[in-house]
Amino acid sequence: MEQPKRKRMFGEIAIELSFCSRQQLDKGLRKQSDEKGNGSERYIGSVMQELGHLSAWHVDKILTIQKEEERGLMDIGSE
């Protein structure tokens, strides 16, 4: 039986496209988590840009892919 489709995470796409390494993503997620503990909440794309692991172009590309996939998932669900 085929698994239901789900929205892919930002970091999952970044790694799949070789925009960053797993280690870089883990570093970004730790920083994001630390900041959240201090009352700040930022998107992982912003954190990864600040760390120099992704450019604005990379972040935009990943967000575009997420939006396109979400649109596709919504089309499937409405059939």
Closest CA relative to residue 72, chosen from 3, 2, 7, 1: 7
In this predicted structure, what is the pLDDT of residue 6?
Answer: 77
Distance CA 20, CA 32 (A): 16
Name the DSSP letter for residue 18.
Answer: T
In this predicted structure, what is the pLDDT of residue 30?
Answer: 97
Domain annotation covers residue 30? yes
The model's pLDDT over 32-41, given as tens digits with 9 standing for 90+, comes to: 999 998 888 9
* Single pTM value for the model: 0.82
pLDDT at 57 over 80: yes
Domain annotation covers residue 3? no
Domain tally, the chain: 1
Considering the chain, what is the average pLDDT of its residues?
Answer: 89
Neighbours of 31 (CB within 10 A): 16
Domain annotation covers residue 36? yes
Binned at pLDDT 50, 70 and 90, residue 4 comes out as low
Name the DSSP letter for residue 53.
Answer: S
Residues 58, 19: contact at Cβ < 8 Å?
Answer: yes
